[in-house]
Structure 1
Amino acid sequence: MNNFRNLLIWQKSMALVTGIYNSTKAFPKEEAFGLTSQIRKCAISIPSNIAEGFGRDSNKEYLRFLNISVGSLFELQTQLEIAKNISYLTTEQFNKQYEDSREVERMLISFVNKIKERK
């Protein structure tokens, strides 16, 4: 594979970012620099680190960036829970975003394990 855009995990995480942006549009304006910003930053970090790691010279470095993506994903899942708990997200919105994030999580963990096997 010669381009990170061909990775299904990158494509799915990009779709997750789009969903997150759409879901956070209705958050209160006073959250623009709080939870809204933080959720979006976490979401953006996932495909960004997948792409950045792809361009690195070694599997060790790639794994480091993929692990950053995993951390950002877990942070995002936590913040989605917070948004649901304070009624910024409906249960339906939360369930959709959380399930999408869980799909990315499973794919990302599997991808990390495959790269580890290549060592």
Structure 2
Amino acid sequence: MRIKTFQDIYTWKKGYKLTLKIYEATKNFPKSEAFGLKSQLRRAAVSCISNIAEGFKRLGAKDSLHFYNYSQASLEEIKCQAMPARDLNYFDQPNWEAIEQLADEAGKTLHGWIKSQKYL
């Protein structure tokens, strides 16, 4: 299948699923976290998929890779920020496991995507 838009990129699809899961899992966070972990997790998730989209439209592999690397960093932020949310019992176990799994899958597919783009 030919990739015509960023939505065709498999790793973007994985990141989008992660973003939706994070929004769902954070909607019942305490009000005190509205500008803390809740906001940070959501922004990191949106940053992940946004940077894939922006990288896709950049001209030149080097410029694109810059944005894909930002996306990787956003995934690491999600993993880091989800840990205190888990330990503070803001996530229930099923949401934690789903976020952890989706973040790992998105990270692996993003790594593969980046590797494949370096030689264009």
- The question of a shared fold, defined as TM-score above 0.5 by the shorter chain, is answered with yes
Deviation string 1:29-81 (CA, Å, 9 cap, x unpaired) is: 11101110000000000110000011100100110000000000001001111
Question: Aligned pair count?
Answer: 118
- Determine which of 89, 97, 100 is the counterpart of 1:98: 100
Offset at residue 92 of structure 1 (A): 2.2
Offset at residue 91 of structure 1 (A): 2.3
Identity of aligned residues (%): 36
Whole-angstrom CA distance in 1 between matches of 2:17 and 2:47: 13
- Determine which of 29, 39, 48 is the counterpart of 2:50: 48
Matches within 5 A, 1:25-64: 25-64=27-66
Verify: 1:78 aligned to 2:80, yes or no: yes
Q: Please tell me the residue identity of whatever aligns with 1:99.
A: Q
Offset at residue 13 of structure 1 (A): 0.8
Q: Which runs of 5+ in 2 are unaligned?
A: none
Whole-angstrom CA distance in 1 between matches of 2:64 and 2:84: 31
Whole-angstrom CA distance in 2 between matches of 1:22 and 1:32: 14
Q: Which runs of 5+ in 1 are unaligned?
A: none
Offset at residue 111 of structure 1 (A): 0.8
Whole-angstrom CA distance in 2 between matches of 1:82 and 1:43: 16
Q: Which residue number corresponds to residue 19 of structure 2?
A: 17
Deviation string 1:4-26 (CA, Å, 9 cap, x unpaired) is: 11111111111111000000011
TM, length-normalised to structure 1: 0.95
SS in 2 for 1:57: coil
Whole-angstrom CA distance in 1 between matches of 2:45 and 2:8: 19
Higher relative contact order (CA 8 A, sep 6+): 2
Runs of 4 or more, structure 1, over 2 Å off, are none
Whole-angstrom CA distance in 1 between matches of 2:86 and 2:39: 16
TM, length-normalised to structure 2: 0.94
